[in-house]
Amino acid sequence: GENVEQHPSTLSVQEGDSAVIKCTYSDSASNYFPWYKQELGKRPQLIIDIRSNVGEKKDQRIAVTLNKTAKHFSLHITETQPEDSAVYFCAAPPQAGTALIFGKGTTLSVSS
């Protein structure tokens, strides 16, 4: 089955710095790669996603890149702010339209 590995498990940055979180997946049939943000005590929320037919997608300060050959995808956050502090999860489905398998999460701390 699909295995999604996420690194690092914790990440501390200064406000204004960039943050990068990386995930690898095992199933080459995976074609959809979302990222979720979970603030303390709240539900996970989708912040950005990418499909396998594109290599990069941006939305303001966040971007996701995908390397299908290497089976990895990354979340990039630029100009980090304290409100970016949260747990971030990557995910991938073993096959198109099936249930998502999540990474173990990255706790991002942005200090001002």
Least gap, CB of 92 to another protein (angstroms): 9
Region near another protein per CB under 8 A, out of 20-28, 62-70, 72-80, 92-100: 92-100
- C-alpha angle with apex 61: 69 to 9, nearest 5 degrees? 60
70 phi/psi in degrees, rounded to 5: -85, -10
Closest CA to 64 of 72, 21, 56: 56
Q: Which of 12, 29, 104, 111 binds another protein (CB under 8 A)?
A: 104
Of these, 15, 28, 79, 99, which contacts another protein (CB under 8 A)?
99
Four-point Cα dihedral 91, 96, 97, 103, nearest 10: -10
Q: How many chain residues touch another protein (CB under 8 A)?
A: 22
- Decide if residue 103 touches another protein (CB under 8 A): yes
Rounded alpha-carbon distances, angstroms, from residue 37 to 29, 30, 49, 90, 91 = 25, 21, 12, 9, 12
Binding residues among 10-39 for another protein as defined by CB under 8 A:
32, 34, 36
**Using CB under 8 A, which of 46, 54, 67, 111 touches another protein?**
46
Binding site for another protein (CB under 8 A): 1, 6, 9, 32, 34, 36, 42-46, 49, 89, 93, 97, 99-105
